[in-house]
């Protein structure tokens, strides 16, 4: 049981890290995309 709980916990930590990174990348891409769009337009 303990090992199962630990495995679940590790899996959840990985999921947390992964989703945080994806959201961070989404934010970064919005930042870059709007500047790139303005460069293209100018």
Partner 1 sequence: MAHEHTADHAHGEHDHHGPAHGWRRWVYATNHKDIGTMYLVFACIMFFVGGAMAMIIRAELFKPGLQLVDPQFFNSMTTMHALIMIFGAVMPAWTGLANWMIPMQVGAPDMALPRLNNFSFWILPFAFTLLLGTLFVPGGAPAGGWTLYPPLSLQGGDGFPMAIFAIHLMGASSILGSINVVVTIMNMRAPGVGLLNMPLFCWSWLITAYLLIATMPVLAGAVTMLLTDHFFGTSFFSASGGGDPVMFQHIFWFFGHPEVYILILPAFGIISEIIPTFSRKPLFGYDAMVYATAAIAFLSFIVWAHHMFTVGMPLAGQLFFTLSTMLISIPTGVKVFNWTATMWKGSLTFEPPMLFALSFLFLFTIGGFSGLMLAVVPADFQYHDTYFVVAHFHYVLVPGAIFAIMAGVYYWLPKWTGKMYDQKLGTWHFWLSTIFVNVLFFPQHFLGLAGMPRRIPDYSTQFTDWNMVSSIGAFGFGLSQLLLPYIIWKCVKSSGEKATSHVWEGSHGLEWELSSPPPYHSWTDPPSGDVIKRGVQH
Dmax (CA) of the chain: 61
Question: Alpha-carbon distance 21 to 42, whole Å?
Answer: 31
Of the candidates 7, 9, 10, 27, which one interacts with partner 1 according to CB under 8 A?
27
- Joined together, the tokens standing for residue 6 give 């630990």
Length of the chain: 42
- The reply on whether position 5 binds partner 1 by CB under 8 A is no
7 vs 31, beta carbon nearer partner 1: 31
Interacting residues toward partner 1 by CB under 8 A = 12, 15-16, 19-20, 23-24, 26-28, 30-32, 34-35, 38-39, 41-42
């Amino acid at each position: 049981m303990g090992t199962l709980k630990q495995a679940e916990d590790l899996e959840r930590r990985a999921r947390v890290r992964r989703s945080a990174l994806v959201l961070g990348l989404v934010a970064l891409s919005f930042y870059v995309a709007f500047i790139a769009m303005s460069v293209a337009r100018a």
